[in-house]
Chains A and B, each alone.
Chain A
Amino acid sequence: MRTILLGAGTMDARLLDKFRAIVGERGLISSDEGLHTYECDGLTNFRVMPLAVLLPSDTEQVQAIVRICHRERIPFVARGSGTGLSGGALPVRNGIVISLARMNRILEVDLPNARVVVEPGVINLNVTGRVQPQEYFYAPDPSSQSVCSIGGNVAENSGGAHCLKYGFTTTHVLGLEVVMPDGSLIHLGGKTLDTPGYDLAGVFVGSEGTLGIATKVILRIVKRPECIRTLLAAFPSTNEAGAAVSDIIAAGMLPAAIEMMDNLAIQAAEAAVQANYPDCGGLLLVELDGPVAEVQFLMEHVGDLCRKNGAWEIRVAQTDSERALVWKGRKAAFAAMGRISPNYIVQDGVIPRTALPQVMSEIARMSQETGLRVANVFHAGDGNLHPLVLYDRQIPGQEQAAESLSYRILELCIAAGGSITGEHGVGEEKKMMMSKMFSEPDLDTMQRVRCAFDPLQLSNPTKVFPRPRLCGEKPGEYLPHPLESAGIAERF
């Protein structure tokens, strides 16, 4: 991945004063040192310096900032904790960053209705922390849940290991207060279900900050099940583990989570957190939850199916601490790559579960061909792959080779009928892959929604779509520019 570092422009002093008047001295960052913190998100290979970073502390301040942006045509990028892995919170050139980190209050906990209302800067795990004493939890659990924010989760429609059973962020967001790209305030959805009108809350979640800024989020929480059991099974390879997954699904079970790791990923996790995983070719982690009688009965069945498919070691974690240890290795898997490789790319593709053996053997073949190691961590239940392409930036050409390999893996996912992203988002990183997954009319139709929300394209522009649609323009036949026809220029 080539590092793109764009120098900061300068912001008109008069405008800076206006922003300062809204958020105060402490809410404005405009020095070079201060701005460097915000030049990228979790995808560090792309960097752009923003003109300024603003940290509003309430909805009115967000509105006031966005109104100025609208009037002055300044693009803005909303940012939560900056843990995103696709460059969704990457600043845009000559734009500002609006950090929601200070808007981190839990506004309302309504246990009888299982709703919690939060500001966007609230950390994911803090929602669960707040309702845990009453044995509720907030289900979406991205691996970064101890640091990532609800606002960022809303933007990315974050998933996590347990979305196999519990669904994604979008399943758990019932309503939103949104500052529109012109600074006006609207409410989408609500505390009750099926509010009359289009499901614009459903469209907003996962729109990667391109439709406006969420300033309040109504979440649904879930009662903790009576019992949770996690089984760990060691297989000779990911193929046998994959066959066991298919059998579990075919048997009519819907586990809370099914995770898989290959040998390289196990080695890295062991080196990093000593999760005491068996050294095997394919490790499966199956979590069942629900009433005790049900879980005990089904867990035996899962064990049988694993043994039938060649599992040579099976352990069932009974206590919370045993479970925590089993999960620790899995949740640390990305960061653990640092133990076995100087650099790595985290990829996020999805395939129909049945395509797993074929896609795995193709990844292995491509790994051999390029000489680059690929570690594999999957949400196996829903076919979400996280191949980690390992490389060394110091070796000339290896970064480009790794980047190219990671994109080729995504092409494999598309060819298998899958997706280029299951939970990390398109952002800056994968917008060019969108044209490989969707046709031009498909993308154009999505952008009609963007035109309705943000006709001036100020809210996180240049993300998600390979090229913008001019709002108001009549969609017609695509006419190539004369230079393109002449082979002099290409569109990217």
Chain B
Amino acid sequence: MRRLLAAFALACLCLSCSQAEKPKQQVTVYMYSEYIDPDLPKEFEKQTGIAVRLDVYENTEEMTAKLQHAGGVSQYDVVVVSDHQVPVLAKLGLLQPLDAAKLPNAKNVAEQFKSPPYDREGKFSQPYQWGTMGLIYRKDKVQATEFSWALLLDPEKQPGPFVLIDSMRDMMAVAFKTLGVSVNSRKPEDLKAASELILKAKRSAKCLGFEGGVGGKNKVADATAAAAIVYSGDAIKACEEDGHLAYVIPKEGSIIWVDAMTIPAKAPNAEAAHKFINFILDAQVGARLSNFNRYATPNAGSLALIRKEDRDNPAIYPSPDTLKTLEYLEDLGEATKLYDEVWTTIKSR
């Protein structure tokens, strides 16, 4: 009996130990996987003495769910959020306003990102990276002069095993663009047509299923798949490492996105969060970031320090012609529920 009580006491002790605060200061950052140069957190720690703890997600919906339902709002200090979710999270009271006084480097941000449509007053966010979504493919498996989303969605044109993207808004956007409608359409007939298009592709024997951008890119990189839907930076990085790969934005167009840094409403260490955001907004750091992950930088100060090949690369910094075919995703309000149901149908049928 005594032994049991001792064991019980030991258990409580262990539990309290594991819940105890770490002696060192820490900032917890939540962003897409493979999105930051691993040296940068170490640099931040050297400069400020605050350790960086990185947690990753694979798609936007996962991130929003974590913040809303899984207590992420009080466990993360900095969350990188897709543009269309910023107003949603703000409306739900999950974000806290940023203290401009603590972000002197915010002056580096390029003009067009200073008061973006998703955060007019620039109250809740600072831009992290921006980019596009497109197709990564193996040059030996895909011979085409003109690239269209039909390469994936049309069973007759599928070149080999392919991967669709496991993100509701992004995958629907691909289908919408193929149909020639807006990626923010709320019309039930558009949704229905899009879901049928995606289902047809999914049912093909060549479809390897849905993966996040990084997962799809990795499958193409190790030759398991011939093509996948990915985000620009991931693709460019892979193409650099392997000459057999190439990235393209199909002719029907695609989405252009901005990822923004935000601070959750109940962040454990808002002070450190501001320091981290300010650190990323530094011109040098911004350049190192984009030179590593090959996404486009919203930081005007960093632009001069970006590799010339990247600045001239239309896959990273799209040409004006391409820009015309790119659309921003917007918050859908009540229509989100329709999308949710369509997406569940696509995943489950």
Q: Do A and B come from one complex?
A: no
Interface residues of chain A, those whose CB is within 8 Å of chain B, are: none
